[in-house]
């Protein structure tokens, strides 16, 4: 059995499906005037009439073109449905009209887009569904950052990393020219497990004094080194040369820092005194010696 209802705004009569009406919760939208209304109390059961009755009804109660169009060109007896003695009293006493007024107020105060279920969004107010989907897609659209704004910061970061890398590689040279930086590099190397090798400055290490004393079975060489620079300097090796009477080299010997028990480096302004025992053949005559410091 079919069901029909009427739009309370424009009085257009429609044939409705019971399943769609149940899914929409009784709410419908008029396809003629776009008015949304609650169909509770406005739905009637209707059976198609025979041909003779249809002719009689058509003659007695003509249906307008606007009314017949939604029914698929079938005439419907709507005398009881369209007959209203007092529209004002019906509107005031009908609970569906009160619900309709509250529904219209809710629509007018609607501001935020809501996420509707898929089945309800496809049945109720399908004309507004694309608009709500568009608003939701705009609201959830992720913000994008202009890549051109990141280039300056990236360039500055790369330059700083390059400077730090170059300073770490050349830490020995920087510590030589700026002794205050050596303290910072030393702390960094302790945490990273690297080493800060002292700089090599052969001119900074000066041999202040030296002696070569003959003993019973050997010779005792003594010398004193001073670091005249403002930074720590790596310890040098020594070259001892025995000279003949005409200052010609007779014997030359190189002594490394680890052989003479010297430290790896000498702090700024500090001195270090070393001693070394030497043995020579009896047939090696010499009358003088010469001692030099150098880096092998």
User: Which long-range contacts link 92-101 to residues 24+ away (Cβ below 8 Å)?
Assistant: 94/41, 95/40, 95/41, 96/37, 96/38, 96/39, 96/40, 96/41, 96/42, 97/8, 99/38, 99/40, 100/8, 100/37, 100/38
- Residue spans of the domains in the chain: they are 2-109, 151-192, 205-294
Q: What is the pLDDT of residue 72?
A: 43
Q: What percentage of the chain has pLDDT greater than the value 90?
A: 8
The per-residue pLDDT for range 216-245, each reduced to its tens digit, is 778 888 999 999 988 778 899 999 888 887
Q: Which of 56-60, 168-172, 217-221 has the lowest mean pLDDT?
A: 56-60
238, 260 contact by CB (below 8 A) = yes
Q: What is the pLDDT of residue 237?
A: 92
Task: Please tell me the pTM assigned to this model.
Answer: 0.39
The per-residue pLDDT for range 61-74, each reduced to its tens digit, is 333 333 334 444 44
Q: What is the pLDDT of residue 11?
A: 81
Query: Between 157 and 105, where is the model more confident?
Result: 157
Task: Name the maximum alpha-carbon separation found in the chain.
Answer: 158
User: CATH for 205-294, among 3.30.200.20, 3.30.420.40, 2.60.40.3230, 3.30.470.20?
Assistant: 2.60.40.3230
Residue 269, token pair as written in the block: 């302004």
């Amino acid at each position: 059995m079919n069901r029909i209802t009427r739009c309370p705004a424009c009085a257009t009569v429609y044939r409705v499906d019971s399943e769609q009406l149940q899914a929409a919760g009784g709410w419908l939208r008029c396809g003629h005037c776009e008015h949304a209304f609650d169909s509770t109390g406005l739905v009637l059961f209707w059976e198609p009439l025979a041909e003779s009755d249809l002719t009689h009804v058509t003659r007695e109660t003509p249906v307008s073109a606007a009314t017949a169009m939604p029914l698929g060109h079938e005439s419907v007896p709507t005398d009881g449905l369209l007959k209203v003695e007092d529209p004002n009293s019906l509107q005031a006493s009908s609970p569906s009209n009160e619900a309709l007024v509250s529904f219209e107020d809710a629509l007018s105060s609607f501001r935020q887009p809501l996420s509707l279920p898929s089945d309800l969004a496809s049945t109720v107010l399908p004309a507004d569904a694309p608009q709500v989907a568009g608003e939701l897609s705009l609201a959830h659209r992720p913000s994008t950052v202009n890549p051109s704004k990141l280039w300056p910061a990236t360039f500055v970061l790369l330059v700083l990393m390059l400077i730090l890398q170059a300073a770490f590689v050349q830490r020995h040279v920087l510590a030589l020219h700026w002794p205050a930086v050596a303290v910072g590099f030393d702390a960094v190397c302790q945490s990273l497990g690297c080493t800060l090798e002292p700089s090599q400055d052969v001119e900074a290490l000066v041999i202040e004094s030296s002696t070569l004393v003959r003993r019973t079975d050997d010779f005792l060489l003594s010398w004193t080194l001073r670091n005249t620079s403002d930074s720590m300097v790596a310890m040098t090796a020594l070259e001892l040369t025995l000279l003949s009477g005409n200052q010609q080299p007779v014997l030359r010997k190189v002594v490394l820092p680890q052989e003479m028990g010297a430290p790896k480096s000498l702090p700024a302004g500090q001195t270090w005194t070393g001693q070394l025992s030497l043995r020579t053949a009896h047939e090696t005559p010499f009358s003088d010696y010469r001692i030099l410091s150098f880096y092998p």
